[in-house]
Chains A and B, each alone.
Chain A
Amino acid sequence: MTTMTLPPGPSLPRFAQGAVVLTARLRGMRRMRARYGDAFTVNVPIFGRAVVISDPDEAKQLFTASTDLVENVRPNLGRVLGPGSLFALTGEEHREQRRLLVPPFHGRRLAAHERTIEDETVRETATWPEDRAFPALPSMLRITLNAILRAVFGADGDELADLREMLPAWVAYGSRLLVLPIPKTDLGRWSPWGRLWIARRRYDAIVDRLIDKAAAEDLDRRDDVLALLLQSRYDDGSPMSRAQIADHLLSLLVAGHETTATTLAWAIERLRRHPALLRDLAEEADAGGGALREATITEVQRTRPVIDVVGRHVTADGYRLGRWTLPEGCTVLVAVALMHEDEALFPDPLTFDPSRFLGVRPDLYQWIPFGGGRRRCPGAAFATMEMNVVLRTVLRHFTLMPTTEPGERRHSRGVANAPAKGGVAVVRRRSPEAMPPSTIGTAGARP
């Protein structure tokens, strides 16, 4: 028998540790790291015995491990989004489905989304009040929801209005249900799972209508994900099932909207506390540049990653991960913020300083807000482009007023962390003469 070597960890009862790690997440993890080093073992609800790592070499090894050794963390969002969701799929099937989802969020099609996002931003920010504090997050949520709806379904219509109304609640259920056991019997329509299933039936009916509509159209002329999936064929020539399509689309909508919006709210929160940077960014946006803005987004994601941990599930007994030998069934959590705060990787790590990324691409195993390896977020290029366009548009139309208030604390919305006050903004509209003409083109889409 292989001897297992797990990192050290506390012997608190499971419940107490769970509370430490998952409710006061970052504080709890910082404390554990101070006590045990960059890797430690905890016993938590949901995942059971979990090894938390934050060394980039070990993370790289985990992210690039073969699928015979590790798979996606269990449970994951797949239980809420459906068995056809990328989150739920494993092995060869995951590979095959994921490949289909690359083209709509990369290359030529990526550039096509820029205009829509700029329009959405202009429309949403038209209602922003001047000289009065308001949280930016609700606006960001509406912009990113519309952006992903348009990318997924193409043109707007009545069905999208229905989805727009029902999806935000879904994200909230999803994050709560992630931690509740799936009941074996139906507990009724007022139980959390019952509510989810009712919402799912409504969603499926809407997607059915959209598919029927699309079938009557010339799909070749459409660039949205739905059109693409309807046209895809398996090797044996068979089309993708409606259930599979519905699971993919829902996953993209849920995974793609809140994460991007909370990161944008953090960007507003950070920028208002760095007046000199704010001035430089406004000048750069007027001059048509973008290098500093790109570096700023990278630094926002380093210092305020909205997802705390990226997890994997060990499927082979005696899996060797760096210094450790892990048993089958063990959960490994890569602690994103702990890695991002490592002094050896980022000197003066707690200082917000975009210049550390000026003209340098981050190392993709040290900077991991999008996870890593085969399961790395497939929407990363899209999200990066989107955040760039939204910020550029805001900077061109408004002067963001600096503040000396202390930074906002992290507030967990379930899946993503948001600034506790929603990223409070105070803005002044710029006079139209002072505004540079819109120049569509170079919103850097990577990483």
Chain B
Amino acid sequence: MKVQIDAGRCQGHGRCYDLAPGLFGDDDEGFGKVLGDGAVPPEEEQEARRAAANCPERAIRLAEGA
């Protein structure tokens, strides 16, 4: 699984980096960013789904199987 943030939609609500700090961080300006290349280790898939489901802007995309 891979995660991506659509920067055009992100509003910096910060749910992603609160819920899945291993996968997301915040940039200098306070918007969400994907850490590394966005590849999700199997044990963090649950967190990735939680982050995606809780983003108020639906800005997080999950690519299954990638």
Contact = CB atoms under 8 A, between A and B. Distances in A.
Contacts of B13: 374, 376
A329 B20 CA distance: 37
A23 interface: no
Interface string A356-384: 00000100100000000110100001000
Interface string B21-41: 000001111110000000000
Contacts of B11: 95, 98-99, 102, 374
Given A99-B12, A446-B18, A108 B29 contact: yes
A160 to B, nearest CB: 25
A374 B57 contact: yes
B18 A102 contact: no
B4 interface: no
Contacts of A91: none
Interface residues of B, dominant DSSP: loop
Nearest to A376: B13
Contacts of B29: 102-103, 106-108
A98 B30 CA distance: 13
Nearest to B12: A102
A64 interface: yes
A447 to B, nearest CB: 7
Given A99-B12, A446-B18, A105 B30 contact: yes
Interface in A318-346: none
A122 interface: no
A381 B28 CA distance: 14
Contact of B26 (A64, A107, A373): A107
Interface residues of A, number: 21
Given A103-B30, A107-B26, A446 B14 contact: yes
A361 B18 CA distance: 8
Contacts of B12: 99, 102-103, 106
Nearest to B58: A64
B61 interface: no
Contacts of A107: 26-31
Nearest to B31: A102
A227 to B, nearest CB: 14
A152 B18 CA distance: 26
A44 to B, nearest CB: 28
Nearest to B18: A361
B48 to A, nearest CB: 17
A106 B27 CA distance: 9
A64 B52 CA distance: 13
Interface string A292-314: 00000000000000000000000
A446 B24 CA distance: 15
Contact of A373 (B18, B27, B30, B56): B56
Contacts of B31: 102, 106-107
Contacts of A381: 14, 30
Interface in B34-66: 54, 56-57
B2 interface: no
B30 A447 contact: no
A374 B10 CA distance: 11
A63 B56 contact: yes
A108 B28 contact: yes
A401 interface: no
A377 B3 CA distance: 26
Interface of B: 11-15, 18, 26-31, 54, 56-57
Given A106-B31, A108-B28, 20 more contacts: A95-B11, A98-B11, A102-B11, A102-B29, A102-B31, A103-B12, A103-B29, A103-B30, A105-B30, A106-B14, A106-B29, A106-B30, A107-B26, A107-B28, A107-B29, A364-B15, A364-B54, A374-B56, A446-B18, A447-B14
Interface of A: 63-64, 95, 98-99, 102-103, 105-110, 361, 364, 373-374, 376, 381, 446-447
6 contacts: A106-B14, A107-B26, A364-B54, A374-B57, A376-B56, A446-B18
The 5 tightest CB contacts between A and B, nearest first, are A106-B30, A102-B12, A107-B30, A103-B29, A108-B28
